[in-house]
Amino acid sequence: MLLITHYQRILHYIKPTYVHVMIDGKIVKSGGPELGEKLEQEGYDWIKKEADAEAVPMNA
């Protein structure tokens, strides 16, 4: 089953095997259920910063 949500709270009822985070249609972070818990506690800003740091400029 594939479940797409913005609400980590739903993961209290449905126990995922994997959690993936998408930004602009691309998976930028993957992990287990602990990733969903971390997102609830810390939000998404840290993932956005990680994704920006790993992005390669197009003219590089």
Residues 7-27: tens digit of each pLDDT: 878 888 888 899 999 998 999
Torsion of CA 28, 34, 38, 39, to 10 degrees: 50
Q: Residue 39 phi/psi, 5° resolution?
A: -65, -40
Question: How confident is residue 30, by pLDDT bands cut at 50, 70 and 90?
Answer: very high
Q: What is the predicted pLDDT for the residue at 59?
A: 64
pTM value surpassing 0.85:
no
Listed by start position, the domains of the chain span 8-52
Q: What is the predicted pLDDT for the residue at 40?
A: 86
Q: What is the predicted pLDDT for the residue at 56?
A: 65
